[in-house]
Amino acid sequence: MTKKKEHDKEIQEAKMLAEEYKDNMQRIQAEFENFQKRTEKEIHAFRGMANAGIIEEFLPLVDSLGEGIKQAEKSNNEEMKKGFELVQKQLTQIMEKNGVKQIESIGKKFDHNFHECMLTVNEQGKDDEILEEFQKGYTLNGKILRPAKVKVNKKE
Protein backbone atom coordinates (compact mmCIF):
# COMPACT_ATOMS: atom_id res chain seq x y z
CA MET A 1 0.00 0.00 0.00
CA THR A 2 1.13 3.40 -0.76
CA LYS A 3 1.53 6.04 1.87
CA LYS A 4 -1.40 8.00 0.43
CA LYS A 5 -3.76 5.00 0.62
CA GLU A 6 -2.67 4.28 4.19
CA HIS A 7 -3.16 7.90 5.08
CA ASP A 8 -6.65 7.96 3.46
CA LYS A 9 -7.54 4.76 5.33
CA GLU A 10 -6.43 6.29 8.66
CA ILE A 11 -8.46 9.42 7.92
CA GLN A 12 -11.54 7.30 7.10
CA GLU A 13 -11.13 5.31 10.36
CA ALA A 14 -10.70 8.54 12.31
CA LYS A 15 -13.88 9.96 10.72
CA MET A 16 -15.83 6.80 11.60
CA LEU A 17 -14.51 6.91 15.16
CA ALA A 18 -15.40 10.61 15.45
CA GLU A 19 -18.92 9.88 14.15
CA GLU A 20 -19.30 7.06 16.67
CA TYR A 21 -18.19 9.37 19.50
CA LYS A 22 -20.57 12.06 18.28
CA ASP A 23 -23.51 9.60 18.23
CA ASN A 24 -22.62 8.39 21.74
CA MET A 25 -22.35 11.95 23.01
CA GLN A 26 -25.75 12.92 21.51
CA ARG A 27 -27.40 9.82 23.00
CA ILE A 28 -25.89 10.51 26.43
CA GLN A 29 -26.95 14.15 26.22
CA ALA A 30 -30.54 13.12 25.37
CA GLU A 31 -30.57 10.60 28.23
CA PHE A 32 -29.29 13.28 30.61
CA GLU A 33 -31.98 15.76 29.51
CA ASN A 34 -34.65 13.08 30.02
CA PHE A 35 -33.17 12.31 33.45
CA GLN A 36 -33.36 16.01 34.40
CA LYS A 37 -37.00 16.26 33.28
CA ARG A 38 -37.94 13.06 35.12
CA THR A 39 -36.16 14.25 38.28
CA GLU A 40 -37.95 17.62 38.18
CA LYS A 41 -41.27 15.84 37.76
CA GLU A 42 -40.52 13.50 40.69
CA ILE A 43 -39.47 16.43 42.90
CA HIS A 44 -42.69 18.27 42.04
CA ALA A 45 -44.75 15.16 42.83
CA PHE A 46 -42.85 14.64 46.11
CA ARG A 47 -43.45 18.25 47.17
CA GLY A 48 -47.14 17.84 46.36
CA MET A 49 -47.39 14.74 48.50
CA ALA A 50 -45.39 16.37 51.31
CA ASN A 51 -47.82 19.29 51.20
CA ALA A 52 -50.75 16.85 51.40
CA GLY A 53 -49.91 15.91 54.98
CA ILE A 54 -49.65 19.52 56.07
CA ILE A 55 -52.80 20.55 54.24
CA GLU A 56 -54.77 17.64 55.73
CA GLU A 57 -53.92 18.99 59.18
CA PHE A 58 -55.58 22.30 58.24
CA LEU A 59 -58.88 20.72 57.13
CA PRO A 60 -60.34 20.56 60.67
CA LEU A 61 -59.54 24.28 60.98
CA VAL A 62 -61.50 24.95 57.77
CA ASP A 63 -64.39 22.91 59.21
CA SER A 64 -64.25 24.85 62.48
CA LEU A 65 -64.38 28.17 60.63
CA GLY A 66 -67.49 27.00 58.78
CA GLU A 67 -69.07 25.97 62.09
CA GLY A 68 -68.10 29.33 63.62
CA ILE A 69 -69.91 31.11 60.77
CA LYS A 70 -73.05 29.01 61.40
CA GLN A 71 -72.97 29.78 65.13
CA ALA A 72 -72.46 33.50 64.48
CA GLU A 73 -75.48 33.44 62.16
CA LYS A 74 -77.59 31.68 64.82
CA SER A 75 -76.67 34.31 67.40
CA ASN A 76 -77.12 37.16 64.89
CA ASN A 77 -73.55 38.36 65.53
CA GLU A 78 -72.66 39.96 62.19
CA GLU A 79 -69.22 41.18 63.25
CA MET A 80 -68.17 37.72 64.38
CA LYS A 81 -69.58 36.21 61.20
CA LYS A 82 -67.63 38.69 59.04
CA GLY A 83 -64.45 37.94 60.99
CA PHE A 84 -64.84 34.19 60.50
CA GLU A 85 -65.65 34.68 56.83
CA LEU A 86 -62.54 36.81 56.31
CA VAL A 87 -60.27 34.20 57.89
CA GLN A 88 -62.03 31.43 55.94
CA LYS A 89 -61.57 33.35 52.68
CA GLN A 90 -57.86 33.88 53.33
CA LEU A 91 -57.31 30.23 54.21
CA THR A 92 -59.27 29.10 51.15
CA GLN A 93 -57.15 31.33 48.90
CA ILE A 94 -53.93 29.90 50.34
CA MET A 95 -55.20 26.37 49.87
CA GLU A 96 -56.35 27.03 46.29
CA LYS A 97 -52.98 28.59 45.47
CA ASN A 98 -51.41 25.30 46.59
CA GLY A 99 -53.67 23.10 44.44
CA VAL A 100 -56.48 22.34 46.92
CA LYS A 101 -60.03 22.39 45.60
CA GLN A 102 -63.30 21.81 47.40
CA ILE A 103 -65.39 18.92 46.06
CA GLU A 104 -68.80 20.08 44.86
CA SER A 105 -71.52 17.88 46.31
CA ILE A 106 -75.03 19.21 46.91
CA GLY A 107 -77.26 18.61 43.89
CA LYS A 108 -74.57 16.53 42.17
CA LYS A 109 -74.70 12.83 41.34
CA PHE A 110 -73.07 10.62 43.98
CA ASP A 111 -69.58 9.49 42.92
CA HIS A 112 -67.84 7.02 45.22
CA ASN A 113 -64.49 8.42 44.06
CA PHE A 114 -65.25 11.81 45.64
CA HIS A 115 -68.07 11.20 48.13
CA GLU A 116 -68.62 9.01 51.16
CA CYS A 117 -72.28 8.13 51.69
CA MET A 118 -73.21 8.52 55.36
CA LEU A 119 -76.99 8.28 54.93
CA THR A 120 -79.45 7.30 52.22
CA VAL A 121 -83.07 8.45 52.03
CA ASN A 122 -85.93 7.94 49.60
CA GLU A 123 -87.21 11.43 48.83
CA GLN A 124 -88.47 13.24 45.77
CA GLY A 125 -85.70 14.00 43.34
CA LYS A 126 -83.19 12.19 41.21
CA ASP A 127 -81.70 8.83 42.11
CA ASP A 128 -78.15 9.11 43.50
CA GLU A 129 -78.53 12.88 43.97
CA ILE A 130 -76.65 14.35 46.93
CA LEU A 131 -79.12 16.13 49.18
CA GLU A 132 -76.90 17.25 52.06
CA GLU A 133 -73.23 17.57 52.86
CA PHE A 134 -72.14 16.66 56.40
CA GLN A 135 -68.45 17.36 55.85
CA LYS A 136 -66.75 19.05 52.91
CA GLY A 137 -64.34 17.06 50.79
CA TYR A 138 -61.13 18.26 49.15
CA THR A 139 -58.72 17.31 46.37
CA LEU A 140 -55.07 18.21 46.02
CA ASN A 141 -53.96 18.50 42.40
CA GLY A 142 -56.76 16.13 41.40
CA LYS A 143 -56.08 13.53 44.11
CA ILE A 144 -58.48 13.00 46.98
CA LEU A 145 -57.38 14.51 50.29
CA ARG A 146 -60.67 13.81 52.00
CA PRO A 147 -63.96 12.64 50.45
CA ALA A 148 -67.10 14.67 51.10
CA LYS A 149 -69.43 13.00 53.62
CA VAL A 150 -72.93 13.20 52.21
CA LYS A 151 -76.60 12.22 52.37
CA VAL A 152 -77.79 10.57 49.14
CA ASN A 153 -81.25 10.12 47.62
CA LYS A 154 -81.82 6.48 46.66
CA LYS A 155 -84.89 5.40 44.70
CA GLU A 156 -85.92 1.86 45.50
Domain parsing of the chain, residue ranges: 1-98, 99-156
Q: What percent of the chain has pLDDT over 70?
A: 99
Residue with the bigger pLDDT between 126 and 74: it is: 74
Under the banding of pLDDT at 50, 70 and 90, the label for residue 141 is confident
Q: Average pLDDT over the chain, rounded to whole? A: 91
Domain 99-156: CATH superfamily, name plus number:
Head domain of nucleotide exchange factor GrpE (2.30.22.10)
Summarised one tens digit per residue, pLDDT across range 49-92 is: 777 888 888 899 999 999 999 999 999 999 999 999 999 999 99
pLDDT at residue number 59: 92
CB atoms within 10 A of CB 38: 10
Question: What secondary structure, in 3-state letters, does 72-94 show?
Answer: HHHCCCHHHHHHHHHHHHHHHHH
Residue pair 129/108 in contact by the 8 Å Cβ criterion? yes
More confident residue, 85 or 5: 85
Q: Which CATH architecture has domain 1-98?
A: Alpha-Beta Complex (3.90)
